[in-house]
Structure 1
């Protein structure tokens, strides 16, 4: 028969206490909604960033202004930098790929549009603008997308 001394019992009680505290902390952390220090910076293209985009689209439909910066990395290139600003009536979306040496369109492109929406395909959610200067009024221009597998 194995005998456990007083020191062994104290150690077992302490270990059980520590495990209980850690389990409790994990449960509390699991229930908290993730927050980010810079909610107007889209970099992960995850569910939280998609919710921020949806908030921006809803705000625009209600005539509320907003601004965002999005950094979208290519597979073998530098980032595409998207600067988005709207005043509740008109959208200014600038795509800066000057840091992408492999870009087919090096430089900056600005879209000035009066409509924005979220389109869903089998694999993606795409942010599309329309009624843009220099384009047909009903032409949908897809500027960023969210892969559903990464949400």
Structure 2
């Protein structure tokens, strides 16, 4: 009889441990769920090449060159319509970049942060690519902020 009670207690404890672990996992998932994106009137929005507030982006690039503090958010949409948020904060010396792809159900769904020294403009075949340069952790990542195509 004692053996049976010990066995029952052992399985009860095992079940309780599994339930606690499962609850912890659910809480972790909730922490990384994306918040709803509400477009700000000041956002630079790239909807498949149609860019709004482009003058704000050019102003940000000028401020980086002049070493003036500034910040901006560039929002690019995927083919499926998911917003990809790229926040850039220039503190007068470095650009602090936060790229949030958590709303993209087909991509990595991550938040990537890095610090960069500046922005490079690359002109080719009727388009200009704006790319972060001299970053702390590029690791082969695409550091393109925005692509402007001449029309």
* TM-score, length of structure 2 as denominator length: 0.62
Aligned residue pairs total 109
- Contact kept in structure 1, 2:129 and 2:146, CA below 8 Å: yes
- Contact kept in structure 2, 1:77 and 1:102, CA below 8 Å: no
Q: In structure 1, list runs of 5 or more residues that go unmatched.
A: 1-36
The alignment status of 1:90 with 2:110, answered yes or no, reads: no
Q: In structure 2, list runs of 5 or more residues that go unmatched.
A: 1-39
Alpha-carbon distance in 2 for matches of 1:75, 1:48: 17
Which of residues 75, 79, 101 in structure 1 aligns to 2:79?
75
1:15 corresponds in structure 2 to: none
- Contact kept in structure 1, 2:45 and 2:52, CA below 8 Å: no
Cα displacement string for residues 15-47 of structure 1 (whole angstroms, at most 9, x for unaligned residues):
xxxxxxxxxxxxxxxxxxxxxx83x31115657
Change (3 A) 1:101 1:111: same
Alpha-carbon distance in 1 for matches of 2:61, 2:97: 13
- Contact kept in structure 2, 1:57 and 1:117, CA below 8 Å: no
Q: CA RMSD in A?
A: 2.6
Asked which structure has the greater CA Rg, the reply is 1
- Contact kept in structure 2, 1:77 and 1:101, CA below 8 Å: no
SS of 2:72 mapped into structure 1: strand
The alignment status of 1:127 with 2:130, answered yes or no, reads: yes
